[in-house]
Amino acid sequence: MPFGTLPLNDGKKIPAIAFGTGSIYKRTDVTRYVQQALDAGFWHIDTAQFYETEGYVGNVIHESGLARSDLYITTKYGQGDVREAIQNSLSNLGLKYVDLYLIHQPRFLPEIDPVWKEFEVLQKDGLAKTIGVSNFTLEDLQSLVQKATMWPAVNQIELHPYNYTQKKALLEWSAKHGIVTEAYSSLSSITKFPGGPVDAPVAAAAKRLGISPTQVLLSWVRAKGAVIVTTTSNKGRLEEYLAVGDLPPLPDSDVAAIDAAGTQGPPGILDYSIISVRGTRLTLKAAMLALALAFLFLHVFSRVVACRM
Protein backbone atom coordinates (compact mmCIF):
# COMPACT_ATOMS: atom_id res chain seq x y z
CA MET A 1 0.00 0.00 0.00
CA PRO A 2 1.42 3.42 -0.92
CA PHE A 3 0.57 5.17 2.35
CA GLY A 4 3.85 6.95 2.86
CA THR A 5 5.16 9.33 5.50
CA LEU A 6 4.89 13.00 6.31
CA PRO A 7 7.89 15.13 7.34
CA LEU A 8 8.09 16.43 10.89
CA ASN A 9 9.61 19.65 12.16
CA ASP A 10 12.35 17.72 14.00
CA GLY A 11 13.69 16.22 10.76
CA LYS A 12 12.00 12.86 11.24
CA LYS A 13 8.98 11.37 9.46
CA ILE A 14 5.65 9.93 10.57
CA PRO A 15 3.58 7.26 8.78
CA ALA A 16 0.46 8.80 7.25
CA ILE A 17 -1.91 6.24 8.79
CA ALA A 18 -1.99 4.62 12.24
CA PHE A 19 -3.93 1.86 13.95
CA GLY A 20 -5.33 3.09 17.26
CA THR A 21 -5.89 1.02 20.41
CA GLY A 22 -8.10 3.51 22.25
CA SER A 23 -11.78 4.20 21.57
CA ILE A 24 -13.88 1.17 22.58
CA TYR A 25 -10.71 -0.89 23.14
CA LYS A 26 -9.50 0.95 26.25
CA ARG A 27 -8.63 -1.47 29.04
CA THR A 28 -9.29 -4.52 26.86
CA ASP A 29 -7.07 -7.20 25.34
CA VAL A 30 -6.22 -5.79 21.90
CA THR A 31 -3.72 -8.51 21.01
CA ARG A 32 -5.74 -9.96 18.13
CA TYR A 33 -6.64 -6.57 16.71
CA VAL A 34 -3.06 -5.25 16.73
CA GLN A 35 -1.76 -8.46 15.17
CA GLN A 36 -4.46 -8.22 12.53
CA ALA A 37 -3.48 -4.62 11.81
CA LEU A 38 0.18 -5.54 11.38
CA ASP A 39 -0.76 -8.43 9.11
CA ALA A 40 -2.90 -6.10 7.01
CA GLY A 41 -0.03 -3.66 6.48
CA PHE A 42 -0.23 -1.10 9.29
CA TRP A 43 3.14 -0.29 10.82
CA HIS A 44 2.19 2.70 12.97
CA ILE A 45 0.50 1.60 16.22
CA ASP A 46 -0.99 4.19 18.59
CA THR A 47 -1.51 3.48 22.29
CA ALA A 48 -1.48 5.40 25.59
CA GLN A 49 -0.85 5.14 29.31
CA PHE A 50 -4.55 5.85 29.86
CA TYR A 51 -5.74 3.14 27.45
CA GLU A 52 -4.01 0.39 29.44
CA THR A 53 -3.28 -1.41 26.16
CA GLU A 54 0.49 -0.90 26.05
CA GLY A 55 1.22 -4.37 27.43
CA TYR A 56 -0.84 -6.05 24.74
CA VAL A 57 0.83 -3.95 22.04
CA GLY A 58 4.20 -4.92 23.48
CA ASN A 59 3.35 -8.62 23.36
CA VAL A 60 2.37 -8.36 19.71
CA ILE A 61 5.56 -6.47 18.86
CA HIS A 62 7.63 -9.17 20.55
CA GLU A 63 5.78 -12.04 18.87
CA SER A 64 5.76 -10.38 15.44
CA GLY A 65 9.47 -10.82 14.89
CA LEU A 66 9.52 -7.51 13.03
CA ALA A 67 12.61 -5.34 13.18
CA ARG A 68 12.26 -2.25 15.37
CA SER A 69 12.89 -0.09 12.31
CA ASP A 70 9.82 -1.65 10.65
CA LEU A 71 7.52 -0.25 13.33
CA TYR A 72 6.46 3.21 14.43
CA ILE A 73 5.06 3.25 17.97
CA THR A 74 3.19 6.15 19.56
CA THR A 75 2.16 6.30 23.19
CA LYS A 76 0.88 9.10 25.40
CA TYR A 77 1.59 10.51 28.84
CA GLY A 78 -1.43 10.92 31.08
CA GLN A 79 -0.34 11.54 34.65
CA GLY A 80 2.37 11.15 37.29
CA ASP A 81 6.10 11.71 37.11
CA VAL A 82 6.98 12.10 33.43
CA ARG A 83 10.18 10.04 33.41
CA GLU A 84 8.63 7.30 35.51
CA ALA A 85 5.61 7.27 33.19
CA ILE A 86 7.64 6.77 30.03
CA GLN A 87 9.83 4.15 31.72
CA ASN A 88 6.67 2.23 32.63
CA SER A 89 5.35 2.62 29.09
CA LEU A 90 8.62 1.38 27.61
CA SER A 91 8.60 -1.57 29.99
CA ASN A 92 5.03 -2.43 28.97
CA LEU A 93 5.92 -2.12 25.30
CA GLY A 94 9.22 -3.98 25.64
CA LEU A 95 11.02 -1.14 23.86
CA LYS A 96 14.02 1.08 24.49
CA TYR A 97 12.32 4.09 22.92
CA VAL A 98 9.04 5.18 21.37
CA ASP A 99 8.90 6.92 18.04
CA LEU A 100 6.35 9.48 19.26
CA TYR A 101 5.43 10.53 22.80
CA LEU A 102 2.44 12.81 23.32
CA ILE A 103 0.93 14.77 26.18
CA HIS A 104 -2.47 13.10 26.08
CA GLN A 105 -4.87 15.68 27.48
CA PRO A 106 -3.94 19.17 28.76
CA ARG A 107 -7.19 19.48 30.72
CA PHE A 108 -6.07 16.74 33.13
CA LEU A 109 -2.78 18.41 34.05
CA PRO A 110 -2.39 21.26 36.56
CA GLU A 111 0.50 22.73 34.53
CA ILE A 112 1.68 22.04 31.01
CA ASP A 113 5.01 23.89 30.81
CA PRO A 114 6.89 21.77 33.40
CA VAL A 115 5.64 18.60 31.71
CA TRP A 116 6.81 19.83 28.32
CA LYS A 117 10.24 20.65 29.73
CA GLU A 118 10.48 17.02 30.85
CA PHE A 119 9.41 15.92 27.37
CA GLU A 120 12.28 17.91 25.88
CA VAL A 121 14.71 16.08 28.16
CA LEU A 122 13.22 12.72 27.19
CA GLN A 123 13.82 13.50 23.54
CA LYS A 124 17.41 14.55 24.20
CA ASP A 125 17.93 11.31 26.14
CA GLY A 126 16.58 9.25 23.24
CA LEU A 127 13.63 7.75 25.09
CA ALA A 128 11.26 9.44 22.63
CA LYS A 129 12.45 10.13 19.11
CA THR A 130 9.73 12.73 18.57
CA ILE A 131 7.55 14.61 21.06
CA GLY A 132 4.16 16.19 20.61
CA VAL A 133 0.75 16.80 22.10
CA SER A 134 -2.83 15.59 21.84
CA ASN A 135 -6.19 17.34 22.22
CA PHE A 136 -4.55 20.78 22.30
CA THR A 137 -6.54 23.79 21.14
CA LEU A 138 -5.00 26.64 19.20
CA GLU A 139 -4.73 28.62 22.43
CA ASP A 140 -3.04 25.67 24.15
CA LEU A 141 -0.44 25.39 21.40
CA GLN A 142 0.26 29.09 21.22
CA SER A 143 0.75 29.22 24.97
CA LEU A 144 3.03 26.18 24.98
CA VAL A 145 5.41 27.35 22.27
CA GLN A 146 6.02 30.69 23.98
CA LYS A 147 8.23 28.92 26.53
CA ALA A 148 9.22 25.78 24.64
CA THR A 149 12.77 25.15 23.49
CA MET A 150 11.55 22.43 21.12
CA TRP A 151 8.19 22.85 19.45
CA PRO A 152 5.78 19.91 19.37
CA ALA A 153 5.98 18.02 16.09
CA VAL A 154 2.44 16.63 16.27
CA ASN A 155 -0.99 17.50 17.66
CA GLN A 156 -3.44 14.60 17.68
CA ILE A 157 -7.04 15.82 17.70
CA GLU A 158 -10.58 14.72 16.96
CA LEU A 159 -11.28 15.81 13.41
CA HIS A 160 -14.28 15.15 11.20
CA PRO A 161 -16.53 17.23 8.92
CA TYR A 162 -18.83 18.29 11.75
CA ASN A 163 -16.09 19.92 13.81
CA TYR A 164 -13.84 21.07 10.97
CA THR A 165 -15.08 24.68 11.12
CA GLN A 166 -14.11 24.87 14.80
CA LYS A 167 -10.72 23.24 14.08
CA LYS A 168 -9.86 25.10 10.87
CA ALA A 169 -7.84 27.88 12.49
CA LEU A 170 -5.92 25.30 14.54
CA LEU A 171 -5.10 23.25 11.43
CA GLU A 172 -3.98 26.30 9.48
CA TRP A 173 -1.79 27.65 12.29
CA SER A 174 -0.27 24.21 12.87
CA ALA A 175 0.51 23.75 9.17
CA LYS A 176 2.06 27.21 9.00
CA HIS A 177 4.39 26.35 11.88
CA GLY A 178 5.27 22.83 10.81
CA ILE A 179 3.14 20.97 13.36
CA VAL A 180 1.53 17.88 11.83
CA THR A 181 -2.09 17.19 12.75
CA GLU A 182 -3.14 13.64 13.52
CA ALA A 183 -6.88 13.04 13.15
CA TYR A 184 -8.95 10.57 15.16
CA SER A 185 -12.71 9.86 15.08
CA SER A 186 -12.78 11.02 11.46
CA LEU A 187 -15.58 8.58 10.58
CA SER A 188 -17.95 10.13 13.13
CA SER A 189 -20.46 11.24 10.50
CA ILE A 190 -20.98 7.53 9.75
CA THR A 191 -20.42 5.94 13.15
CA LYS A 192 -21.85 8.54 15.55
CA PHE A 193 -24.03 10.91 13.54
CA PRO A 194 -25.58 9.00 10.61
CA GLY A 195 -28.39 10.71 8.76
CA GLY A 196 -26.84 14.17 8.92
CA PRO A 197 -26.15 16.72 6.16
CA VAL A 198 -22.66 15.33 5.45
CA ASP A 199 -24.14 12.04 4.25
CA ALA A 200 -25.32 13.47 0.92
CA PRO A 201 -22.03 14.88 -0.44
CA VAL A 202 -20.14 11.83 0.87
CA ALA A 203 -22.55 9.44 -0.82
CA ALA A 204 -22.44 11.45 -4.06
CA ALA A 205 -18.63 11.39 -4.12
CA ALA A 206 -18.54 7.68 -3.30
CA LYS A 207 -20.92 6.83 -6.14
CA ARG A 208 -19.14 8.99 -8.70
CA LEU A 209 -15.63 7.83 -7.72
CA GLY A 210 -16.55 4.18 -7.22
CA ILE A 211 -15.30 4.03 -3.64
CA SER A 212 -16.95 3.60 -0.23
CA PRO A 213 -18.24 6.45 1.95
CA THR A 214 -15.57 5.47 4.50
CA GLN A 215 -12.88 5.93 1.87
CA VAL A 216 -14.32 9.31 0.93
CA LEU A 217 -14.06 10.49 4.54
CA LEU A 218 -10.51 9.22 4.97
CA SER A 219 -9.58 10.88 1.68
CA TRP A 220 -11.10 14.08 3.09
CA VAL A 221 -8.73 13.76 6.08
CA ARG A 222 -5.78 13.35 3.73
CA ALA A 223 -6.91 16.47 1.85
CA LYS A 224 -6.58 18.37 5.15
CA GLY A 225 -2.94 17.25 5.38
CA ALA A 226 -3.57 15.14 8.48
CA VAL A 227 -2.34 11.73 9.55
CA ILE A 228 -5.21 9.23 9.86
CA VAL A 229 -5.61 7.47 13.22
CA THR A 230 -8.30 4.81 12.94
CA THR A 231 -9.29 1.45 14.36
CA THR A 232 -11.50 -1.56 13.76
CA SER A 233 -11.75 -5.22 14.70
CA ASN A 234 -12.76 -6.13 11.13
CA LYS A 235 -10.04 -7.32 8.76
CA GLY A 236 -12.00 -6.19 5.73
CA ARG A 237 -12.25 -2.70 7.15
CA LEU A 238 -8.49 -2.58 7.68
CA GLU A 239 -7.98 -3.40 4.01
CA GLU A 240 -10.58 -0.78 3.07
CA TYR A 241 -8.73 1.86 5.09
CA LEU A 242 -5.33 1.00 3.65
CA ALA A 243 -6.71 1.00 0.10
CA VAL A 244 -7.22 4.75 0.48
CA GLY A 245 -3.49 5.06 -0.03
CA ASP A 246 -3.98 3.86 -3.61
CA LEU A 247 -6.63 6.48 -4.39
CA PRO A 248 -6.02 9.79 -6.14
CA PRO A 249 -6.63 12.93 -4.05
CA LEU A 250 -10.27 13.72 -3.34
CA PRO A 251 -11.41 16.40 -5.83
CA ASP A 252 -11.48 19.91 -4.40
CA SER A 253 -15.17 20.20 -5.23
CA ASP A 254 -15.97 17.19 -3.03
CA VAL A 255 -13.81 18.50 -0.20
CA ALA A 256 -15.63 21.85 -0.39
CA ALA A 257 -19.07 20.18 -0.47
CA ILE A 258 -18.26 18.09 2.60
CA ASP A 259 -16.89 21.16 4.40
CA ALA A 260 -20.06 23.11 3.63
CA ALA A 261 -22.33 20.30 4.80
CA GLY A 262 -20.31 19.94 7.98
CA THR A 263 -21.03 23.54 8.97
CA GLN A 264 -24.69 22.58 9.36
CA GLY A 265 -23.77 20.34 12.25
CA PRO A 266 -24.69 16.73 13.02
CA PRO A 267 -28.37 15.81 13.39
CA GLY A 268 -29.80 16.98 16.70
CA ILE A 269 -26.41 17.75 18.25
CA LEU A 270 -25.21 21.12 19.49
CA ASP A 271 -22.03 19.88 21.14
CA TYR A 272 -19.57 21.35 18.66
CA SER A 273 -20.12 25.04 19.38
CA ILE A 274 -17.65 25.91 22.11
CA ILE A 275 -18.00 28.82 24.51
CA SER A 276 -15.97 29.86 27.52
CA VAL A 277 -17.36 30.72 30.96
CA ARG A 278 -14.83 32.19 33.40
CA GLY A 279 -12.02 30.28 31.71
CA THR A 280 -13.90 26.94 31.69
CA ARG A 281 -14.54 25.48 28.25
CA LEU A 282 -18.10 24.20 27.80
CA THR A 283 -20.03 22.86 24.86
CA LEU A 284 -23.07 24.91 23.89
CA LYS A 285 -25.27 21.96 24.80
CA ALA A 286 -23.75 21.76 28.27
CA ALA A 287 -24.06 25.51 28.72
CA MET A 288 -27.73 25.44 27.70
CA LEU A 289 -28.38 22.61 30.14
CA ALA A 290 -26.67 24.52 32.93
CA LEU A 291 -28.74 27.61 32.09
CA ALA A 292 -31.95 25.60 32.11
CA LEU A 293 -31.09 24.13 35.51
CA ALA A 294 -30.34 27.60 36.82
CA PHE A 295 -33.74 28.88 35.67
CA LEU A 296 -35.41 25.82 37.23
CA PHE A 297 -33.62 26.48 40.52
CA LEU A 298 -34.68 30.13 40.48
CA HIS A 299 -38.25 29.14 39.70
CA VAL A 300 -38.41 26.64 42.57
CA PHE A 301 -36.66 29.06 44.91
CA SER A 302 -39.12 31.86 44.08
CA ARG A 303 -42.07 29.51 44.70
CA VAL A 304 -40.66 28.48 48.08
CA VAL A 305 -40.13 32.11 49.08
CA ALA A 306 -43.63 33.01 47.93
CA CYS A 307 -45.15 30.22 50.00
CA ARG A 308 -43.37 31.45 53.12
CA MET A 309 -44.53 35.03 52.76
Annotated binding site for substrate: 104
Could you tell me the end-to-end alpha-carbon distance of the chain, in angstroms, rounded to an integer? 77
Q: Are 205 and 250 in contact (CB under 8 A)?
A: yes
The DSSP-derived string for 64-87 is H---GGG-EEEEEE-SS-HHHHHH
- In the chain, DSSP assigns E strands to 5-7, 13-15, 17-20, 44-46, 72-77, 98-103, 128-134, 154-158, 180-184, 227-230, 274-277, 280-283
DSSP letter, residue 213: H
Annotated binding site: 104
Q: Are 45 and 66 in contact (CB under 8 A)?
A: no
DSSP bridge partners of 182: 156, 227
Selected catalytic residue, list 25, 33, 51, 56: 51
Q: Is 51 known to be catalytic?
A: yes
List residues with catalytic annotation: 51
